Amino acid sequence: MHRIGYLITEGFQIMGLATQTVFEVANIVAGEAFYRVQNFSVGGGMVRSSLGMPIETLPLAAPGLADTWMVSGTLTPETPPADEVLACVQGFVASARRTAGLCTGTFVLAQAGVLDNRRATTHWAYAKALRTLHPKVEVDDDRIFIIDGPVWTSAGMTAALDMALAMVEKDLGAELARSVAHKLVMHQRRSGGQSQHSELLSLAPKSDRVQSALEYARQHLSRPLSVEELAGVVHLSPRQFTRVFTAETGQSPAKAVENLRLEAARLMIEQSRHSLDVVARETGFRDRRHLREVFIRGFGVPPQAVRRDARRVG
């Protein structure tokens, strides 16, 4: 049995505990109790979340209580945790198979010194503070989770679910992890190399018409996707569509489609072994040279560098 311990502190973010469902469902799919999940705090007893919800915890009596430790975050990560908490975390890394920071739990790992000279991520809104407070940490705020040796860190909120699913895949295999994701109604299993940011979210259209046009574009990126085609999908004239689209998103339809192509190409490069010729064709670029030109303009690096980095992250 693999023991998973959650270290929670006063004011912890309740979303971090949602990852426990990943391990619960993994047990169901596996048909056996492979994982045992328990909540801990330094002194044991009731610990309240940031919402005020009390959670019963076991005391941390010894460092060998779990094989995997999940360290919760708070909404005030810049505030250093108690010395007792830091001592426990230092003991985890020395004795456990792996230790993970959930969202701003990365700050706790950094404060304990276990992230010195390691790559790590956290919620994008707190990445600047993490860099400032802990300059020895190599912060990458554009990854949903990062594995550096026995230390795992995740970005905010739902990214921790992806990290927990990656742990299940490592422990029990890709097929079982896919079944867990399916039962959890997760749209896809995201790799650690995936960006925290979504182009569709950043465009934030206000009307159903523009949203429908964007969704159509996302599903048909291999097509030319002219303004006339997109306008026809939502029954507007090209001129009217361009005016409404630009007013709602702050971008022209052509620019938005290019950004959607870039995002899709980046995901294919990070998560697949398809050649750049295939990636270019599937995401609507003329050829691999055109893909490379737009990629460098958009991300500042060539596609090959992103693929190498994604494989290094794991």
Residue range 249-297, pLDDT digits in tens: 888 999 999 989 988 898 888 778 899 999 999 999 999 999 999 988 8
Decide: helix, strand or coil at residue 103. Answer: coil
Cβ-contact 157, 198 below 8 angstroms: no
d(CA 107, CA 71): 10
d(CA 39, CA 9): 10
What is the enclosing helix (H) or strand (E) of 241?
A: helix 238-249
Tokens of 146: 């990062």
Alpha-helical (H) ranges within 139-237 are: 159-172, 174-183, 199-203, 208-219, 227-233
Residue range 151-184, pLDDT digits in tens: 999 987 788 998 999 999 999 998 899 899 889 9
Which amino acid does the sequence have at 144?
Answer: I
Tokens of 197: 């940011």
Q: What is the mean pLDDT of residues 5-13?
A: 94
Residue range 56-111, pLDDT digits in tens: 999 987 667 899 999 999 999 998 889 999 998 998 888 899 999 999 999 999 99
Decide: helix, strand or coil at residue 10. Answer: coil
d(CA 85, CA 218): 46
Assign a CATH topology to domain 199-313: Arc Repressor Mutant, subunit A (1.10.10)
Domain 2-183 shares a fold with domain 199-313: no
pTM above 0.75, yes or no: no
Classify domain 2-183 at the CATH superfamily level.
Answer: Class I glutamine amidotransferase (GATase) domain (3.40.50.880)
Strand pairing report for 151-154 and 98-101: parallel
d(CA 132, CA 141): 13
Q: For the chain, what is the radius of gyration of the CA atoms?
A: 22
Decide: helix, strand or coil at residue 79. Answer: coil
Which amino acid does the sequence have at 221?
Answer: L
Which among 171, 143, 154 has a CA at the least distance from the CA of 271? 143
Q: Percentage of residues in the chain with pLDDT exceeding 70?
A: 92
- Going from N- to C-terminal start, the domains of the chain cover 2-183, 199-313
Residue range 205-250, pLDDT digits in tens: 778 888 899 889 988 999 999 999 999 999 999 999 999 999 988 8
Cβ atoms within 10 A of the Cβ of 76, count?
A: 10
Alpha-helical (H) ranges within 16-158 are: 20-30, 83-95, 105-111, 127-133
Position 314 pLDDT exceeds 60: no
Residue range 118-133, pLDDT digits in tens: 999 999 889 999 999 9
Cα angle: 37, vertex 42, 46; to 5 degrees: 70
pLDDT reported for residue 191:
52
